[in-house]
């Protein structure tokens, strides 16, 4: 498995923890040539590309009237344009082979407003990811390539650390039907499901894993 990210230190730590099952490769998703090289590196290493998971993302938390347009564009560039770079090059390889799975990690904030956490660029980008997922799925289904979106709710990550560590954030989490944020391992099953033949008749779908947040 090839893993790419901007932070080489985090990648190397991940690769070490898996005893070589993961090969690290530093890359910025907004670099189209880097995306092409990463896809080719994965093919060169294993001889084929079966699954692409797009999980890179950034946000800007501030009211829209205060968010500079250049920062809004940066969020869109990473979360949408960067994702498309990898979909484009991986999709070409998968179409040529006649099979493949792409999983785009979106967010519940692509389905509903972020509400008390103002992040217009993030919400816009994740809504676009869900729409792009449907379009790519429709275009590539006849070529044997499936494209689905995995939509997490609130899981503890570097991006959500303040939410999980503050009392205000905990109150927010307790308001969801299941009364808590998600544990990291609760995304593993849905991700494996979308990547495997268990979902072989699914494409263009949005699989929401959010503790019931978008149900109420």
Closest CA relative to residue 163, chosen from 171, 94, 14, 54: 171
- Looking at per-residue confidence, does 115 or 195 come out higher? 195
In three-state secondary structure terms, 95 is helix
Write out pLDDT tens, residues 120-145.
999 999 999 999 999 999 999 999 99
> What is the helix (H) or strand (E) element at residue 5, kind and residue range?
strand 2-5
- In angstroms, how far is CA 215 from the centroid of its own chain? 21
| Range of weakest confidence among 91-100, 115-124, 136-145, 164-173 | 164-173
- In angstroms, how far is CA 107 from the centroid of its own chain? 8
Please check whether residue 104 is in contact with residue 54, taking contact to mean a CB–CB distance below 8 angstroms. yes
Packing angle of the helix pair 32-46, 83-97 (nearest 10 deg):
40
Q: Is it the case that residue 49 has pLDDT exceeding 80? A: yes
| Range of weakest confidence among 87-96, 138-147, 164-173, 181-190 | 164-173
Closest CA relative to residue 129, chosen from 89, 91, 77, 191: 77
**Terminal C-alpha separation, the chain:** 38
Third-level CATH fold of 50-215:
Rossmann fold (3.40.50)
Active site residue 122: yes
Catalytic pick from 84, 86, 122, 154? 122
The whole-number pLDDT of residue 20 equals: 77
CA distance 90 to 43: 10
pLDDT band, very low/low/confident/very high, at 70 (cuts 50, 70, 90): very high
CA distance 175 to 165: 16
């Amino acid at each position: 498995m090839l893993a790419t990210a901007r932070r080489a230190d985090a990648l190397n730590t991940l690769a070490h923890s898996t005893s070589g099952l993961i090969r690290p490769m530093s890359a910025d998703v907004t670099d189209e040539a880097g995306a092409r090289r990463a896809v080719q590196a994965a093919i060169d290493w294993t001889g084929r590309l079966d699954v692409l998971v797009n999980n890179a993302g950034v946000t800007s938390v501030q009211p829209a009237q205060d968010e500079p347009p250049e920062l809004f564009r940066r969020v869109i560039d990473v979360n949408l344009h960067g994702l498309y770079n990898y979909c484009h090059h991986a999709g070409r390889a998968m179409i040529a082979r006649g099979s493949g799975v792409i999983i785009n990690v979106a967010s519940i904030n692509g389905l509903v407003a972020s509400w008390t956490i103002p992040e217009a660029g993030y919400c816009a980008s994740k809504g676009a990811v869900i729409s792009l997922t449907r379009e790519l799925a429709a275009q590539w289904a006849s070529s044997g390539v499936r494209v689905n979106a995995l939509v997490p709710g609130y899981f503890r990550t570097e991006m959500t650390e303040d939410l999980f560590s503050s009392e205000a954030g905990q109150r927010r989490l307790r308001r969801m039907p299941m009364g808590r944020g998600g544990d990291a391992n609760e995304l593993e099953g849905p991700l494996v499901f979308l990547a495997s033949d268990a979902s072989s008749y699914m494409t263009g779908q949005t699989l929401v894993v959010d503790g019931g947040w978008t149900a109420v």
